[in-house]
């Protein structure tokens, strides 16, 4: 066949399978989102539209990839947990990382106009991805604790910082200086005494980030179930009733929560996330 004398170049592509029996954790991060958020006028310290758009893209990923059992997002980053036994793309690293980063980005651009109807996208944003393996449930728990602690620390800082700037009239240099060396309780105190802001009353989305899980839908009792869902949970994916091994699995949908994922409650209620 023509071309066969060149086909040897395929031999330079080396296999990159990931170790079986381990959790895969994919984290996507916005590329140069400091500039991107400036150019598109994101509200400070948090822009609900931008965060909801991130959630939407993450939800699209979970609906397309059943191996993703949990996702957590804050700011311009999102983490996705793939089950231990996931065989997605034969666990080939580049294939997984590139495809998921690509789809997330695609969904982000695709849905942009829904969340920013008055602000056209000026240029195409991008996200980088990295995939880390974790051998045990303990490390997965600690990974998500690490991210949510980060959310808390950043958001408390940013909320106080922008209160000083926007309501307190400080310039940004001065505001940073004001906060230097302060502890959490100091920031709570600044917010409350100077700006009458009760930090704990702030939108949980900002304080806790977004946690996406699958939830079972209630059984449908109508006889006329033809597979079409009546209440679409999102425009990009219907709740799926997947047939596996001869029986119908429960219909699930992806839901977005803004709750604590550091304590045991969240995990005790969802043992399937860390199950084999």
CA angle 45, 37, 156 (to 5 degrees): 20
To a second copy, the closest distance from the beta carbon of 53 in angstroms equals: 12
Structure tokens belonging to residue 33: 């989102």
DSSP tag of 245: T
Q: Which residues are annotated as a binding site for Mg(2+)?
A: 29-30, 76
Looking at the Cβ atoms of 60 and 77, the one nearer to a second copy is 60
Looking at the Cβ atoms of 155 and 165, the one nearer to a second copy is 155
To a second copy, the closest distance from the beta carbon of 128 in angstroms equals: 4
Phi/psi for 237 (5° steps) reads -160, 130
To a second copy, the closest distance from the beta carbon of 224 in angstroms equals: 27
Looking at the Cβ atoms of 126 and 158, the one nearer to a second copy is 126
CA angle 138, 140, 145 (to 5 degrees): 95
Q: Which residues are annotated as a binding site?
A: 29-34, 75-76
Which residues neighbour 209 within 8 Å (Cβ) at sequence distance 6 or greater? 72, 73, 74, 147, 148, 151, 258
Which residues neighbour 38 within 8 Å (Cβ) at sequence distance 6 or greater? none
To a second copy, the closest distance from the beta carbon of 169 in angstroms equals: 29
- Give the strands of the sheet with 77-82, arranged side by side: 127-134, 23-30, 77-82, 68-74, 210-216, 252-257
Looking at the Cβ atoms of 152 and 251, the one nearer to a second copy is 152
DSSP SS3 for 167:
helix
Looking at the Cβ atoms of 117 and 218, the one nearer to a second copy is 117
To a second copy, the closest distance from the beta carbon of 93 in angstroms equals: 7
Q: Which residues in this chain contact a second copy in the complex, by CB under 8 A? A: 1-3, 6-15, 17, 19-22, 28, 31, 60, 93-95, 97-99, 101-111, 121, 123-136, 139, 142-143, 145-146, 149-150, 152-153, 184, 236
């Amino acid at each position: 066949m023509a071309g066969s004398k060149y086909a040897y170049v395929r031999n330079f592509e080396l296999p990159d399978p990931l170790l079986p029996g381990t959790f895969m954790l994919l984290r996507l991060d916005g590329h140069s989102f400091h500039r991107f958020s400036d150019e598109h006028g994101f509200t400070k310290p948090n822009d609900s539209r931008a965060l909801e758009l991130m959630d939407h893209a993450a939800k699209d990923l979970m609906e397309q990839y059943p191996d993703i059992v949990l996702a957590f997002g804050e700011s311009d980053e999102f983490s996705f947990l793939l089950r231990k036994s996931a065989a997605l793309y034969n666990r080939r690293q580049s294939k997984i990382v590139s495809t998921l980063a690509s789809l997330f980005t695609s969904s982000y651009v695709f849905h942009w106009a829904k969340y920013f109807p008055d602000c056209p996208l000026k240029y195409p944003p991008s996200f980088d991805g990295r995939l880390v393996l974790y051998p045990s449930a303990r490390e997965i728990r600690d990974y998500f604790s690490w991210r949510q602690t980060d959310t808390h620390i950043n958001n408390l800082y940013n909320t106080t910082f922008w209160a000083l700037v926007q309501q307190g009239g400080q310039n940004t240099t001065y505001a940073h200086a004001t906060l230097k060396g302060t502890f959490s309780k100091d920031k709570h105190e600044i917010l409350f005494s100077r700006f009458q802001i009760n930090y704990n009353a702030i939108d949980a989305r900002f304080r806790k980030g977004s946690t996406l899980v699958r939830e079972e839908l209630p059984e449908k009792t109508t006889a006329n179930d033809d597979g079409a869902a009546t209440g679409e949970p999102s425009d990009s994916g219907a709740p799926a009733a997947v047939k596996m091994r001869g029986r119908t699995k429960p219909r699930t949908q992806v839901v977005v929560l803004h709750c604590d994922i550091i304590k045991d409650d969240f995990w005790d209620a969802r043992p399937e996330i860390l199950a084999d």
